[in-house]
Structure 1
């Protein structure tokens, strides 16, 4: 007998490799069964695949709180259970205590109005358009240096050698982290992603996650103090000195914002760049068309975001009794707003499974929508554009014969973990 819809959702939560690689049929089937929302007992949440219904939820923070975006409360229990045991380890007791204290606060992607409005007003300046325009030459320079490292070989793992490094180098520079410590920085970022989309992390993983949070706070507390005394023209100075109507951010708000910038500033953009590289390496007709007309690159990046959103979905929790269409929803129930599914809603665009850079409009929600629209979307788009041009400069880029498809171990953060390609070797960059 075929698996039920909820059985398949359970497989997604259990990180079934086939569903991580291709959840699209599952999303289509949920949409067909929704009328207009489907409640998954396996997930403990309403699964929202409709673009319109998702829109209605995310623009109504008074009814749908963002305070638990990456998990239902039930799914947080394994982390709490492991933390209780880890707290009995002498060298981890203080770190666990700090972890518990930090996770009571609400900052940016865990905050609702009016706190969220205040925080966004204070931090929007960090990603202002003028700063991004000034950054573009540096993004291109870093990209050129990365390409120069493998251009002569005619072969590369574009995931490891490019997609991981470009956003990581850029966000580390923006935060003022010396590049000699890039490995530590990447380790923190990987650990911060451990609880996201993974229902049952191991005790060792939770220990690493808690330890990284403490190390990150210690490191950046000192940097915040330095930047308050001697501000520079950098992201951490903006965060350290941000205020609204004369009121500064709290220490917890500063540290949590920086932690979110680190994770969002590299993990999701890495996925975008890997998806871009895969598309160019497998669709040679499109690759050649873009190479001949670089003005099409921005539309290509937007379609890459729509077609395979780096963040599959996030949670909202009902603050009061409400309805999803004609379905009653009780206060405290969760909804999983599946951005990746909504981006392939036929009501949003015709033939949604087709990758088409010539669409008349592309109102995707890969960066979210409304109150929590991604604060760093401008930087991600810039790096996507620069990365596309860099990969188009790899002559005859194609997928390597020994490439295998491996995906991230998360049902929320979806993306490749390697991208083996070949191309005609050359001695340096060709232009960006």
Structure 2
């Protein structure tokens, strides 16, 4: 048993820093396999963190480790990083970075606003948006699935869900992409810090103004629901509403865009599976779960060890940093049969793409619904879908895996149902 992380060798082959190589980023799964097979709980001296890749071990980290890993404004001030304070002021108020009672309170209030009834009421709206986006590209015989469909669909849905003008979706998407850098990549792209700061300040001002408008002209939507939600006499402060609106906006867009883009690429590379799904749409729910497992939109997340604990036979010390690699866990042969094979009817599929335990993504039902409608509509309306002969480029976000573009061609589009 290893009693301290520094006792391990500096093995660069097992470092997540290899994701900075575009070729590795394009297909990270061989790296994950090597890490999982050689050392599923590995001290990465380049990241100064434990990197955990086995399914059971990632589950343990997600369940037992702390999410309160973002520095406070006061800590940044002490480190001479005062310029990053606006980022910290948002992050420390988001439920993603809370544990215990603080997390339960925020999550409970947000769930009170994010009801199943509210999500179910969006189904026809999502379908209409999907059909409208396809209508705009139908006559061209080709489209960039990311720019023309996978990005605008969840952005427009999220605007409607929040209760802000749908016409603002492009601005919301730009902010979402920038904020995703904070969540998934800022430590590797310090040059983008200024842009991220500007986006956070603009988002904060935008949602503050929207809340002011709600006071004089209430508008149905999640923003109003968050501002008025009450559980056991507790309500969210304005700062908490703004911070968690930003989190919901980003989470609602990035993961769904990546699910659609990554999933469609996976199917296009396997024409027989694409045809199977088109011919048998009844398997769509299990197919979405398999696409989430096979190409996880969120690849990894960070945690902090709350108390000394054993994981995979290794002793993790209190306040050690941990990277839980859900994408590696989702292909662990100890949990999934033939994990590198796509099985659209896989029955036992408890993947970790939506995290696990207390921080399981409460937006998962909406993401699943959007995914089902997106794939059903694309496959039904666009016959003879095929990849255009162009190179693929992945976004330089190491945690949120997604394509920059996905060019496809298709036959004469069929009308909306």
TM-score relative to the length of structure 2: 0.90
Deviation at 1:351, TM superposition (A): 0.5
Determine if the alignment matches structure 1 residue 297 to structure 2 residue 297: no
Deviation at 1:213, TM superposition (A): 1.2
Deviation at 1:148, TM superposition (A): 0.3
| Contact residue 155 and residue 253 of structure 2 kept, 8 A | yes
SS at match of 1:47: strand
Residues 287 and 7 of structure 1, relative CA distance in 2, 3 Å threshold: closer
| Contact residue 314 and residue 412 of structure 1 kept, 8 A | yes
Aligned to 1:117: 104
Which residue of the other structure, out of 221, 225, 232, is the alignment partner of 1:238?
Answer: 225
Q: What is the correspondence of 1:384-403 to structure 2 with a 5 Å cutoff?
A: 384-393=371-380, 394-401=382-389, 403=390
Summarize deviations over 1:136-174 as a string: whole Å, max 9, x none.
Answer: 000000000000011111111111110111001110121
Residues 21 and 221 of structure 1, relative CA distance in 2, 3 Å threshold: same
Deviation at 1:230, TM superposition (A): 4.8
Q: What is the correspondence of 1:35-74 to structure 2 with a 5 Å cutoff?
A: 36-60=40-64, 64-68=65-69
Q: Structure 2 stretches of 5 or more lacking a match?
A: 1-9
| Contact residue 281 and residue 376 of structure 2 kept, 8 A | yes
Aligned to 1:252: 239
| Contact residue 280 and residue 398 of structure 1 kept, 8 A | no
Residues in 1 aligned to 2:211 and 2:68: alpha-carbon distance in whole angstroms: 26
Residues in 2 aligned to 1:108 and 1:316: alpha-carbon distance in whole angstroms: 14
Deviation at 1:127, TM superposition (A): 2.6
Residues in 2 aligned to 1:222 and 1:307: alpha-carbon distance in whole angstroms: 40
Residues 106 and 233 of structure 1, relative CA distance in 2, 3 Å threshold: closer
SS at match of 1:421: strand
Residues 106 and 175 of structure 1, relative CA distance in 2, 3 Å threshold: closer
Residues in 1 aligned to 2:273 and 2:13: alpha-carbon distance in whole angstroms: 38
Q: What is the correspondence of 1:206-285 to structure 2 with a 5 Å cutoff?
A: 206-228=193-215, 230-285=217-272
Aligned to 1:23: 28
Deviation at 1:8, TM superposition (A): 5.1
Summarize deviations over 1:85-139 as a string: whole Å, max 9, x none.
Answer: xx5xxxxxxxx65445445x34210000110011111111333221122110000
Deviation at 1:308, TM superposition (A): 0.7
SS at match of 2:302: strand
Deviates most, 132-141 or 40-49: 40-49
Deviation at 1:47, TM superposition (A): 1.1
TM-score relative to the length of structure 1: 0.87
Q: What is the correspondence of 1:304-319 to structure 2 with a 5 Å cutoff?
A: 304-319=291-306
Residues in 2 aligned to 1:320 and 1:178: alpha-carbon distance in whole angstroms: 45
Aligned to 1:90: none
Residues in 2 aligned to 1:251 and 1:177: alpha-carbon distance in whole angstroms: 16
CA-based RMSD: 2.2
| Contact residue 188 and residue 213 of structure 1 kept, 8 A | yes
Which residue of the other structure, out of 176, 181, 200, is the alignment partner of 2:163?
Answer: 176
Aligned to 1:201: 189
Residues in 1 aligned to 2:367 and 2:344: alpha-carbon distance in whole angstroms: 18
| Contact residue 274 and residue 416 of structure 1 kept, 8 A | yes
Residues 187 and 332 of structure 1, relative CA distance in 2, 3 Å threshold: same
Which residue of the other structure, out of 15, 18, 21, is the alignment partner of 1:9?
Answer: 15
Residues 247 and 278 of structure 1, relative CA distance in 2, 3 Å threshold: same
Aligned to 1:164: 151
Summarize deviations over 1:250-280 as a string: whole Å, max 9, x none.
Answer: 2221111001011111011100000222133
Aligned to 1:32: 37
Residues 30 and 355 of structure 1, relative CA distance in 2, 3 Å threshold: same
Residues in 1 aligned to 2:149 and 2:213: alpha-carbon distance in whole angstroms: 32
Residues in 1 aligned to 2:415 and 2:319: alpha-carbon distance in whole angstroms: 54
Deviation at 1:218, TM superposition (A): 1.4
Q: Structure 1 stretches of 5 or more lacking a match?
A: 88-95
Deviation at 1:229, TM superposition (A): 5.3
